[in-house]
Structure 1
Protein backbone atom coordinates (compact mmCIF):
# COMPACT_ATOMS: atom_id res chain seq x y z
CA UNK A 1 0.00 0.00 0.00
CA UNK A 2 0.95 3.68 -0.05
CA UNK A 3 0.23 6.31 2.56
CA UNK A 4 -2.62 7.47 0.34
CA UNK A 5 -4.25 4.05 0.46
CA UNK A 6 -5.83 4.74 3.82
CA UNK A 7 -9.34 4.81 5.24
CA UNK A 8 -11.98 7.06 3.67
CA UNK A 9 -10.94 10.65 4.57
CA UNK A 10 -14.57 11.79 4.24
CA UNK A 11 -15.45 9.98 7.44
CA UNK A 12 -15.55 11.93 10.70
CA UNK A 13 -11.89 12.43 11.55
CA UNK A 14 -11.05 10.23 14.52
CA UNK A 15 -8.51 11.61 16.95
CA UNK A 16 -6.88 10.17 20.09
CA UNK A 17 -9.56 9.56 22.71
CA UNK A 18 -7.06 9.37 25.55
CA UNK A 19 -4.10 11.52 26.58
CA UNK A 20 -0.83 9.71 27.18
CA UNK A 21 2.50 10.81 28.59
CA UNK A 22 4.86 11.37 25.69
CA UNK A 23 1.94 11.56 23.26
CA UNK A 24 2.89 12.67 19.77
CA UNK A 25 0.07 15.06 18.83
CA UNK A 26 2.40 18.07 18.85
CA UNK A 27 5.08 16.25 16.83
CA UNK A 28 2.73 14.80 14.25
CA UNK A 29 3.86 16.95 11.33
CA UNK A 30 7.49 16.03 11.91
CA UNK A 31 6.58 12.33 12.08
CA UNK A 32 4.21 12.27 9.13
CA UNK A 33 6.80 13.97 6.94
CA UNK A 34 9.15 11.07 7.69
CA UNK A 35 6.74 8.15 7.22
CA UNK A 36 7.75 6.04 4.19
CA UNK A 37 5.72 6.71 1.05
CA UNK A 38 5.16 3.02 0.48
CA UNK A 39 4.58 0.29 3.06
CA UNK A 40 2.40 -2.74 3.59
CA UNK A 41 1.31 -3.30 7.20
CA UNK A 42 1.58 -0.78 10.04
CA UNK A 43 2.86 -1.80 13.49
CA UNK A 44 2.79 0.36 16.61
CA UNK A 45 4.06 -1.55 19.67
CA UNK A 46 4.03 1.33 22.19
CA UNK A 47 0.50 2.42 21.39
CA UNK A 48 -0.23 4.99 24.09
CA UNK A 49 -2.60 7.63 22.70
CA UNK A 50 -2.06 6.40 19.13
CA UNK A 51 -1.69 9.86 17.59
CA UNK A 52 0.27 8.66 14.54
CA UNK A 53 -2.11 5.77 13.92
CA UNK A 54 -5.12 8.10 13.96
CA UNK A 55 -3.34 10.52 11.64
CA UNK A 56 -2.24 7.88 9.11
CA UNK A 57 -5.44 5.78 9.19
CA UNK A 58 -3.66 2.64 7.84
CA UNK A 59 -5.84 -0.09 6.39
CA UNK A 60 -3.84 -2.90 8.05
CA UNK A 61 -2.68 -2.09 11.56
CA UNK A 62 -1.18 -4.14 14.38
CA UNK A 63 -1.52 -2.11 17.58
CA UNK A 64 -0.11 -3.25 20.89
CA UNK A 65 1.14 -2.21 24.29
CA UNK A 66 2.36 -3.94 27.45
CA UNK A 67 -0.33 -2.16 29.48
CA UNK A 68 -3.44 -4.41 29.68
CA UNK A 69 -5.72 -1.63 30.95
CA UNK A 70 -4.83 0.57 27.97
CA UNK A 71 -5.30 -2.24 25.45
CA UNK A 72 -8.63 -3.12 27.05
CA UNK A 73 -9.81 0.44 26.37
CA UNK A 74 -8.90 0.19 22.69
CA UNK A 75 -10.61 -3.19 22.37
CA UNK A 76 -13.77 -1.90 24.04
CA UNK A 77 -13.80 1.24 21.86
CA UNK A 78 -13.53 -1.01 18.81
CA UNK A 79 -16.02 -3.68 19.87
CA UNK A 80 -18.55 -2.04 22.21
CA UNK A 81 -18.62 1.75 21.74
CA UNK A 82 -22.31 2.08 22.61
CA UNK A 83 -21.94 0.27 25.93
CA UNK A 84 -18.80 2.30 26.67
CA UNK A 85 -20.61 5.58 26.01
CA UNK A 86 -23.46 4.47 28.26
CA UNK A 87 -21.00 3.62 31.04
CA UNK A 88 -19.07 6.88 30.65
CA UNK A 89 -22.28 8.89 30.98
CA UNK A 90 -22.58 7.66 34.58
CA UNK A 91 -19.34 9.35 35.68
CA UNK A 92 -19.13 12.85 37.16
CA UNK A 93 -16.42 15.43 37.64
CA UNK A 94 -16.22 15.71 41.41
CA UNK A 95 -13.23 15.29 43.72
CA UNK A 96 -14.58 12.81 46.27
CA UNK A 97 -16.15 10.74 43.50
CA UNK A 98 -12.84 10.81 41.57
CA UNK A 99 -10.89 9.25 44.44
CA UNK A 100 -13.60 6.64 44.96
CA UNK A 101 -13.26 5.55 41.32
CA UNK A 102 -9.47 5.88 41.32
CA UNK A 103 -9.02 3.68 44.37
CA UNK A 104 -11.15 0.72 43.27
CA UNK A 105 -8.04 -1.01 41.91
CA UNK A 106 -6.88 -1.43 45.53
CA UNK A 107 -9.59 -4.03 46.11
CA UNK A 108 -10.15 -7.55 44.81
CA UNK A 109 -13.65 -6.63 43.64
CA UNK A 110 -12.03 -4.65 40.81
CA UNK A 111 -11.14 -7.97 39.19
CA UNK A 112 -14.86 -8.64 38.77
CA UNK A 113 -15.51 -5.44 36.82
CA UNK A 114 -16.49 -5.92 33.18
CA UNK A 115 -14.09 -4.86 30.44
CA UNK A 116 -16.46 -2.06 29.49
CA UNK A 117 -16.65 -0.72 33.03
CA UNK A 118 -12.85 -0.84 33.38
CA UNK A 119 -12.43 0.97 30.06
CA UNK A 120 -14.85 3.70 31.11
CA UNK A 121 -12.98 4.09 34.38
CA UNK A 122 -9.64 4.60 32.66
CA UNK A 123 -11.04 7.17 30.23
CA UNK A 124 -12.79 8.96 33.12
CA UNK A 125 -9.59 9.09 35.18
CA UNK A 126 -7.61 10.23 32.14
CA UNK A 127 -10.00 13.13 31.52
CA UNK A 128 -10.19 14.25 35.15
CA UNK A 129 -6.82 13.48 36.75
CA UNK A 130 -3.90 15.87 37.08
CA UNK A 131 -2.37 16.73 33.70
CA UNK A 132 -4.01 13.74 31.97
CA UNK A 133 -1.22 11.57 33.34
CA UNK A 134 -1.23 7.77 33.49
CA UNK A 135 0.96 6.51 36.32
CA UNK A 136 0.84 3.44 38.53
CA UNK A 137 2.84 2.42 41.59
CA UNK A 138 4.81 -0.81 42.05
CA UNK A 139 1.55 -2.63 42.86
CA UNK A 140 -0.02 -1.49 39.60
CA UNK A 141 -2.39 0.94 41.34
CA UNK A 142 -3.31 4.19 39.61
CA UNK A 143 -1.98 6.97 41.83
CA UNK A 144 -2.44 10.29 40.00
CA UNK A 145 -4.25 13.01 42.02
CA UNK A 146 -7.44 14.82 41.05
CA UNK A 147 -6.96 17.50 38.40
CA UNK A 148 -8.34 20.99 38.11
CA UNK A 149 -10.18 21.27 34.81
CA UNK A 150 -12.83 23.59 33.44
CA UNK A 151 -15.80 21.39 32.61
CA UNK A 152 -13.86 18.42 31.14
CA UNK A 153 -15.45 16.37 28.37
CA UNK A 154 -15.62 12.93 29.92
CA UNK A 155 -17.51 11.36 27.05
CA UNK A 156 -16.86 12.57 23.49
CA UNK A 157 -19.50 10.43 21.81
CA UNK A 158 -18.82 11.49 18.22
CA UNK A 159 -15.10 10.86 18.48
CA UNK A 160 -15.50 7.50 20.21
CA UNK A 161 -17.79 6.33 17.39
CA UNK A 162 -15.30 7.58 14.79
CA UNK A 163 -12.44 5.83 16.60
CA UNK A 164 -14.44 2.62 16.77
CA UNK A 165 -14.99 2.70 13.01
CA UNK A 166 -11.32 3.29 12.32
CA UNK A 167 -10.26 0.47 14.68
CA UNK A 168 -12.53 -2.18 13.14
CA UNK A 169 -9.81 -3.74 11.01
CA UNK A 170 -7.01 -3.30 13.55
CA UNK A 171 -5.45 -6.14 15.48
CA UNK A 172 -5.17 -4.92 19.08
CA UNK A 173 -3.25 -6.95 21.66
CA UNK A 174 -1.22 -6.94 24.86
CA UNK A 175 2.33 -7.73 23.79
CA UNK A 176 5.90 -6.80 24.56
CA UNK A 177 7.45 -4.73 21.78
CA UNK A 178 9.73 -7.52 20.55
CA UNK A 179 6.85 -10.01 20.24
CA UNK A 180 4.64 -7.37 18.64
CA UNK A 181 6.96 -7.01 15.64
CA UNK A 182 8.24 -10.59 15.46
CA UNK A 183 6.20 -11.34 12.33
CA UNK A 184 6.91 -8.03 10.56
CA UNK A 185 8.13 -8.62 7.00
CA UNK A 186 10.00 -6.67 4.34
CA UNK A 187 8.22 -3.43 3.42
CA UNK A 188 6.13 -3.39 6.58
CA UNK A 189 6.46 -0.22 8.69
CA UNK A 190 6.98 -0.07 12.45
CA UNK A 191 6.74 3.05 14.59
CA UNK A 192 8.32 2.83 18.05
CA UNK A 193 7.47 5.40 20.71
CA UNK A 194 8.99 3.88 23.86
CA UNK A 195 9.27 5.44 27.29
CA UNK A 196 12.11 7.89 26.80
CA UNK A 197 15.60 7.43 28.18
CA UNK A 198 16.05 10.08 30.90
CA UNK A 199 18.20 13.11 30.12
CA UNK A 200 19.15 13.30 33.79
CA UNK A 201 18.33 11.60 37.08
CA UNK A 202 15.32 13.83 37.77
CA UNK A 203 13.70 13.67 34.34
CA UNK A 204 12.90 9.95 34.33
CA UNK A 205 9.23 9.13 33.80
CA UNK A 206 8.49 5.50 33.05
CA UNK A 207 5.36 4.92 35.12
CA UNK A 208 3.39 3.56 32.18
CA UNK A 209 3.63 0.11 33.72
CA UNK A 210 4.61 -1.10 37.18
CA UNK A 211 7.85 -2.54 35.76
CA UNK A 212 9.12 0.65 34.14
CA UNK A 213 11.53 0.81 31.19
CA UNK A 214 15.21 0.83 32.11
CA UNK A 215 18.51 1.02 30.20
CA UNK A 216 18.52 -2.72 29.53
CA UNK A 217 15.15 -2.37 27.81
CA UNK A 218 16.50 0.48 25.67
CA UNK A 219 19.31 -1.82 24.55
CA UNK A 220 16.84 -4.63 23.84
CA UNK A 221 14.76 -2.24 21.74
CA UNK A 222 17.80 -1.27 19.69
CA UNK A 223 18.59 -4.96 19.09
CA UNK A 224 15.01 -5.41 17.88
CA UNK A 225 15.51 -2.54 15.45
CA UNK A 226 18.70 -4.14 14.13
CA UNK A 227 16.78 -7.36 13.47
CA UNK A 228 13.97 -5.48 11.69
CA UNK A 229 16.54 -3.73 9.54
CA UNK A 230 18.08 -7.09 8.63
CA UNK A 231 14.66 -8.31 7.45
CA UNK A 232 13.98 -5.23 5.33
CA UNK A 233 11.32 -3.82 7.65
CA UNK A 234 11.16 -0.03 7.74
CA UNK A 235 11.13 1.47 11.22
CA UNK A 236 10.91 4.91 12.76
CA UNK A 237 11.62 5.53 16.44
CA UNK A 238 11.17 8.52 18.75
CA UNK A 239 13.26 9.01 21.87
CA UNK A 240 15.08 11.57 23.96
CA UNK A 241 18.48 12.88 22.94
CA UNK A 242 20.13 11.14 25.90
CA UNK A 243 23.72 10.05 25.32
CA UNK A 244 22.86 6.35 25.53
CA UNK A 245 20.23 6.71 22.80
CA UNK A 246 22.57 8.58 20.47
CA UNK A 247 25.19 5.88 20.97
CA UNK A 248 22.73 3.03 20.42
CA UNK A 249 21.42 4.38 17.12
CA UNK A 250 24.58 5.97 15.70
CA UNK A 251 24.52 3.60 12.71
CA UNK A 252 21.04 4.72 11.65
CA UNK A 253 19.55 7.95 10.33
CA UNK A 254 19.19 10.20 13.42
CA UNK A 255 17.54 13.63 13.28
CA UNK A 256 16.99 16.16 16.05
CA UNK A 257 13.60 17.83 16.48
CA UNK A 258 12.25 20.32 18.99
CA UNK A 259 9.34 19.09 21.08
CA UNK A 260 7.25 20.61 23.84
CA UNK A 261 6.93 18.51 26.94
CA UNK A 262 4.21 19.26 29.49
CA UNK A 263 4.52 16.27 31.83
CA UNK A 264 6.46 18.20 34.47
CA UNK A 265 4.29 19.25 37.41
CA UNK A 266 6.21 22.54 37.55
CA UNK A 267 4.94 24.71 34.68
CA UNK A 268 8.18 26.72 34.73
CA UNK A 269 10.11 23.57 33.77
CA UNK A 270 7.94 22.79 30.77
CA UNK A 271 9.21 23.87 27.37
CA UNK A 272 10.88 22.82 24.14
CA UNK A 273 13.62 20.23 24.31
CA UNK A 274 15.63 18.23 21.78
CA UNK A 275 14.26 14.83 20.86
CA UNK A 276 15.39 12.49 18.13
CA UNK A 277 13.70 10.61 15.32
CA UNK A 278 15.55 7.50 14.17
CA UNK A 279 14.95 5.76 10.84
CA UNK A 280 16.55 2.98 8.83
CA UNK A 281 15.54 4.63 5.54
CA UNK A 282 15.83 8.11 4.05
Structure 2
Protein backbone atom coordinates (compact mmCIF):
# COMPACT_ATOMS: atom_id res chain seq x y z
CA UNK A 1 0.00 0.00 0.00
CA UNK A 2 1.29 3.45 -0.96
CA UNK A 3 2.34 5.60 1.97
CA UNK A 4 0.15 8.64 2.45
CA UNK A 5 1.72 12.03 3.10
CA UNK A 6 0.25 14.56 5.50
CA UNK A 7 -1.01 17.82 3.96
CA UNK A 8 0.98 19.85 6.50
CA UNK A 9 4.76 20.13 6.59
CA UNK A 10 5.77 19.23 10.14
CA UNK A 11 9.06 19.35 12.04
CA UNK A 12 9.62 15.89 13.49
CA UNK A 13 6.86 14.40 11.32
CA UNK A 14 6.78 10.60 11.25
CA UNK A 15 6.38 9.94 7.51
CA UNK A 16 9.82 8.31 7.23
CA UNK A 17 9.16 6.09 10.27
CA UNK A 18 5.64 4.92 9.40
CA UNK A 19 6.63 1.31 8.67
CA UNK A 20 8.76 0.95 11.82
CA UNK A 21 6.06 2.43 14.05
CA UNK A 22 3.26 0.34 12.51
CA UNK A 23 5.35 -2.78 13.06
CA UNK A 24 5.50 -2.10 16.81
CA UNK A 25 1.92 -0.87 17.29
CA UNK A 26 -0.26 -3.61 18.81
CA UNK A 27 -3.57 -4.54 17.17
CA UNK A 28 -6.58 -2.77 18.67
CA UNK A 29 -9.96 -1.31 17.77
CA UNK A 30 -9.06 2.30 18.55
CA UNK A 31 -5.84 4.27 18.04
CA UNK A 32 -5.37 7.18 20.44
CA UNK A 33 -2.72 9.81 19.60
CA UNK A 34 -2.12 12.44 22.33
CA UNK A 35 0.36 14.33 20.07
CA UNK A 36 -1.19 13.94 16.62
CA UNK A 37 0.87 16.64 14.86
CA UNK A 38 0.48 16.34 11.08
CA UNK A 39 -1.05 12.87 11.45
CA UNK A 40 1.30 10.62 9.43
CA UNK A 41 0.62 7.61 11.65
CA UNK A 42 -3.16 8.13 11.61
CA UNK A 43 -3.09 8.47 7.80
CA UNK A 44 -1.20 5.21 7.34
CA UNK A 45 -2.67 3.07 10.14
CA UNK A 46 -5.67 0.77 9.90
CA UNK A 47 -7.95 0.96 12.94
CA UNK A 48 -11.73 1.06 13.25
CA UNK A 49 -11.61 4.51 14.82
CA UNK A 50 -9.23 7.18 16.07
CA UNK A 51 -9.07 9.66 18.96
CA UNK A 52 -6.56 12.31 17.88
CA UNK A 53 -5.45 15.04 20.27
CA UNK A 54 -3.10 17.99 20.32
CA UNK A 55 -2.75 21.03 22.56
CA UNK A 56 -2.55 23.32 19.51
CA UNK A 57 -6.10 24.66 18.92
CA UNK A 58 -5.22 25.93 15.42
CA UNK A 59 -4.36 22.40 14.36
CA UNK A 60 -7.46 20.78 15.86
CA UNK A 61 -9.81 23.51 14.56
CA UNK A 62 -8.39 23.03 11.05
CA UNK A 63 -8.85 19.24 11.26
CA UNK A 64 -12.43 19.56 12.48
CA UNK A 65 -13.29 22.04 9.70
CA UNK A 66 -11.74 19.76 7.09
CA UNK A 67 -13.68 16.81 8.51
CA UNK A 68 -17.07 18.54 8.62
CA UNK A 69 -16.91 20.61 5.41
CA UNK A 70 -14.05 19.38 3.21
CA UNK A 71 -15.35 20.77 -0.12
CA UNK A 72 -15.71 24.30 1.28
CA UNK A 73 -12.38 24.23 3.12
CA UNK A 74 -10.38 22.89 0.16
CA UNK A 75 -11.92 25.32 -2.35
CA UNK A 76 -11.32 28.29 -0.02
CA UNK A 77 -7.74 27.15 0.70
CA UNK A 78 -6.96 26.77 -3.02
CA UNK A 79 -7.49 30.52 -3.53
CA UNK A 80 -4.53 31.31 -1.28
CA UNK A 81 -2.06 29.37 -3.43
CA UNK A 82 -1.43 31.94 -6.14
CA UNK A 83 1.87 33.56 -7.19
CA UNK A 84 0.69 36.96 -5.95
CA UNK A 85 0.52 35.62 -2.37
CA UNK A 86 4.08 34.28 -2.51
CA UNK A 87 5.50 37.62 -1.35
CA UNK A 88 7.05 38.53 1.96
CA UNK A 89 4.79 41.55 2.49
CA UNK A 90 1.62 39.50 1.90
CA UNK A 91 2.89 36.70 4.17
CA UNK A 92 3.71 39.12 7.00
CA UNK A 93 0.37 40.93 6.72
CA UNK A 94 -1.43 37.55 6.81
CA UNK A 95 0.59 36.51 9.85
CA UNK A 96 -0.34 39.78 11.59
CA UNK A 97 -4.04 39.34 10.73
CA UNK A 98 -3.88 35.71 11.94
CA UNK A 99 -2.44 36.78 15.29
CA UNK A 100 -5.19 39.41 15.73
CA UNK A 101 -8.12 37.23 14.62
CA UNK A 102 -10.24 34.73 16.50
CA UNK A 103 -12.23 33.67 13.41
CA UNK A 104 -11.77 29.91 13.11
CA UNK A 105 -12.23 29.68 9.33
CA UNK A 106 -9.79 32.52 8.64
CA UNK A 107 -7.23 31.14 11.10
CA UNK A 108 -7.56 27.63 9.62
CA UNK A 109 -6.99 28.89 6.07
CA UNK A 110 -4.13 31.18 7.09
CA UNK A 111 -2.57 28.32 9.09
CA UNK A 112 -2.32 26.13 5.99
CA UNK A 113 -1.07 29.06 3.89
CA UNK A 114 1.65 29.93 6.45
CA UNK A 115 2.58 26.25 6.81
CA UNK A 116 3.31 26.03 3.08
CA UNK A 117 4.66 29.55 2.40
CA UNK A 118 6.53 29.98 5.73
CA UNK A 119 10.06 28.88 6.55
CA UNK A 120 10.58 25.09 6.62
CA UNK A 121 6.95 24.34 7.50
CA UNK A 122 7.66 25.31 11.09
CA UNK A 123 4.85 25.79 13.58
CA UNK A 124 6.06 28.14 16.28
CA UNK A 125 4.50 30.68 18.62
CA UNK A 126 6.01 33.32 20.87
CA UNK A 127 5.34 33.58 24.61
CA UNK A 128 2.26 35.70 23.96
CA UNK A 129 0.83 33.02 21.67
CA UNK A 130 1.64 34.87 18.44
CA UNK A 131 2.64 32.80 15.40
CA UNK A 132 6.16 33.98 14.53
CA UNK A 133 7.56 31.80 11.71
CA UNK A 134 9.33 33.91 9.02
CA UNK A 135 8.55 33.92 5.29
CA UNK A 136 9.90 30.93 3.38
CA UNK A 137 10.93 32.35 -0.04
CA UNK A 138 9.98 29.21 -2.01
CA UNK A 139 9.66 29.30 -5.81
CA UNK A 140 6.23 27.69 -5.99
CA UNK A 141 4.64 26.34 -2.80
CA UNK A 142 2.67 23.15 -3.39
CA UNK A 143 -1.09 23.05 -2.81
CA UNK A 144 -1.71 19.65 -1.18
CA UNK A 145 -5.16 19.02 -2.67
CA UNK A 146 -4.97 15.22 -2.90
CA UNK A 147 -3.53 15.03 0.63
CA UNK A 148 -6.34 17.23 1.99
CA UNK A 149 -8.96 15.05 0.30
CA UNK A 150 -7.44 11.83 1.66
CA UNK A 151 -7.25 13.29 5.17
CA UNK A 152 -10.89 14.47 5.02
CA UNK A 153 -12.08 11.01 3.94
CA UNK A 154 -10.15 9.20 6.66
CA UNK A 155 -11.22 11.81 9.25
CA UNK A 156 -14.74 10.31 9.13
CA UNK A 157 -13.41 7.63 11.49
CA UNK A 158 -11.68 10.15 13.77
CA UNK A 159 -12.51 12.40 16.71
CA UNK A 160 -10.21 15.45 17.00
CA UNK A 161 -9.85 17.01 20.45
CA UNK A 162 -7.78 19.89 21.81
CA UNK A 163 -6.61 18.54 25.17
CA UNK A 164 -3.32 17.83 26.92
CA UNK A 165 -1.78 14.37 26.87
CA UNK A 166 -3.06 13.43 30.34
CA UNK A 167 -6.65 14.11 29.29
CA UNK A 168 -6.26 12.19 26.04
CA UNK A 169 -4.90 9.18 27.96
CA UNK A 170 -8.03 9.36 30.14
CA UNK A 171 -10.21 9.30 26.99
CA UNK A 172 -8.72 6.00 25.78
CA UNK A 173 -11.39 3.27 25.97
CA UNK A 174 -10.84 -0.42 26.60
CA UNK A 175 -9.59 -2.04 23.39
CA UNK A 176 -7.43 0.97 22.51
CA UNK A 177 -3.74 1.39 21.85
CA UNK A 178 -1.98 4.72 22.46
CA UNK A 179 0.83 6.09 20.28
CA UNK A 180 2.78 9.07 21.66
CA UNK A 181 5.03 11.31 19.58
CA UNK A 182 5.92 14.01 22.13
CA UNK A 183 8.30 16.89 21.49
CA UNK A 184 11.59 15.03 21.66
CA UNK A 185 13.96 15.10 24.61
CA UNK A 186 17.10 17.14 23.80
CA UNK A 187 20.07 15.20 22.41
CA UNK A 188 22.20 17.00 24.98
CA UNK A 189 21.43 19.17 27.97
CA UNK A 190 22.67 22.18 25.98
CA UNK A 191 20.47 21.56 22.92
CA UNK A 192 18.07 24.44 22.60
CA UNK A 193 14.61 23.13 23.21
CA UNK A 194 11.79 25.13 21.64
CA UNK A 195 8.12 24.46 22.12
CA UNK A 196 5.42 23.72 19.56
CA UNK A 197 2.44 25.44 21.15
CA UNK A 198 3.61 27.79 23.87
CA UNK A 199 4.60 26.36 27.28
CA UNK A 200 7.46 24.01 26.38
CA UNK A 201 7.60 20.26 27.01
CA UNK A 202 10.13 20.05 29.84
CA UNK A 203 12.23 17.15 31.12
CA UNK A 204 9.68 16.85 33.94
CA UNK A 205 6.98 16.44 31.29
CA UNK A 206 9.04 13.69 29.63
CA UNK A 207 9.21 11.87 32.97
CA UNK A 208 5.49 12.36 33.69
CA UNK A 209 4.56 11.04 30.25
CA UNK A 210 6.63 7.88 30.82
CA UNK A 211 4.94 7.44 34.21
CA UNK A 212 1.41 7.84 32.79
CA UNK A 213 2.25 5.44 29.94
CA UNK A 214 3.48 2.72 32.32
CA UNK A 215 0.48 3.12 34.65
CA UNK A 216 -1.97 3.04 31.72
CA UNK A 217 -0.49 -0.22 30.45
CA UNK A 218 -0.33 -1.92 33.86
CA UNK A 219 -3.51 -0.61 35.48
CA UNK A 220 -5.85 -0.27 32.49
CA UNK A 221 -4.46 -2.97 30.14
CA UNK A 222 -3.96 -0.40 27.35
CA UNK A 223 -0.59 -0.70 25.54
CA UNK A 224 1.34 2.53 24.92
CA UNK A 225 4.06 3.09 22.29
CA UNK A 226 6.29 6.18 22.61
CA UNK A 227 8.86 7.44 20.11
CA UNK A 228 11.77 9.65 21.19
CA UNK A 229 15.50 10.21 20.71
CA UNK A 230 17.66 7.33 21.92
CA UNK A 231 19.60 8.88 24.80
CA UNK A 232 20.73 7.83 28.26
CA UNK A 233 17.88 9.94 29.68
CA UNK A 234 15.10 8.37 27.59
CA UNK A 235 16.42 4.86 28.29
CA UNK A 236 16.18 5.63 32.01
CA UNK A 237 12.67 7.06 31.64
CA UNK A 238 11.43 4.05 29.66
CA UNK A 239 13.14 1.35 31.73
CA UNK A 240 9.80 -0.46 32.19
CA UNK A 241 9.18 -0.73 28.46
CA UNK A 242 10.36 -2.98 25.65
CA UNK A 243 12.85 -0.86 23.69
CA UNK A 244 13.48 -0.97 19.95
CA UNK A 245 16.04 1.19 18.14
CA UNK A 246 15.40 2.66 14.68
CA UNK A 247 17.94 4.50 12.51
CA UNK A 248 16.57 7.61 10.85
CA UNK A 249 17.95 10.53 8.87
CA UNK A 250 17.33 13.79 10.67
CA UNK A 251 18.77 17.27 10.30
CA UNK A 252 20.33 18.12 13.64
CA UNK A 253 22.43 21.10 12.60
CA UNK A 254 21.47 24.20 10.68
CA UNK A 255 23.55 23.41 7.61
CA UNK A 256 22.62 20.55 5.30
CA UNK A 257 25.96 18.86 5.92
CA UNK A 258 24.73 18.07 9.43
CA UNK A 259 22.38 15.31 8.29
CA UNK A 260 23.44 12.48 10.54
CA UNK A 261 21.82 9.25 11.58
CA UNK A 262 20.30 9.79 15.00
CA UNK A 263 18.93 6.67 16.65
CA UNK A 264 15.26 6.77 17.56
CA UNK A 265 13.78 4.78 20.40
CA UNK A 266 10.39 3.07 20.20
CA UNK A 267 9.35 2.20 23.75
CA UNK A 268 6.40 -0.16 24.17
CA UNK A 269 4.69 -0.35 27.55
CA UNK A 270 2.59 -3.53 27.53
CA UNK A 271 -0.07 -4.78 29.95
CA UNK A 272 1.30 -7.32 32.38
CA UNK A 273 0.57 -10.85 31.19
Match of 2:146 in 1: 158
Structure 2 gaps, min length 5: none
Q: TM-score, length-normalised on structure 1?
A: 0.88
Residue deviations 1:238-275 (CA, integer Å, cap 9, x gap):
01123221111112111221122237532222332111
Residues 33 and 52 in structure 2, CA contact (< 8 A), matched pair in contact too:
yes
Partner deviation per Cα, 1:142-188 (whole Å, 9 max, x = no partner): 111111323111x3223212211110121111011111011324441
Query: How many angstroms apart in 2 are the aligned matches of 1:265 and 1:134?
Result: 17
- Contact map agreement 1:87 1:117 (CA 8 A) in 2: no
Q: 1:15 is matched with which residue: 1, 5, 10?
A: 5
User: SS state of the match for residue 33, structure 1?
Assistant: helix
Partner of residue 185 from structure 2, selected from 174, 184, 197: 197
What residue ranges of structure 1 are gaps of 5+ in the alignment?
1-8
User: Which of the residues 14, 24, 32 maps onto 1:34?
Assistant: 24
Residues in 2 aligned to 1:51 and 1:257: alpha-carbon distance in whole angstroms: 17
Please point out which of 58, 65, 90 is paired with 1:76.
65
Matched position secondary structure for 2:205: helix
Q: Which residue does the alignment assign to 1:146?
A: 135
Give the paired residue count: 266
Q: Secondary structure at the match of 1:126?
A: helix
- Report the alpha carbon displacement of residue 139 of structure 1 after superposing the two structures with TM: 1.0
For 1:80-99, list aligned pairs within 5 A: 80-91=69-80, 92-99=85-92
Asked if the contact 2:187/2:229 (under 8 Å) is kept, the reply is: yes
Identify the match of residue 172 of structure 1 among 126, 147, 160: 160
- In the TM superposition, structure 1's runs of 4+ consecutive aligned residues that sit over 6 Å from their partners are none
Alignment TM-score, normalising by the size of structure 2: 0.90
Distance 1:267 1:103, change over 3 A: farther
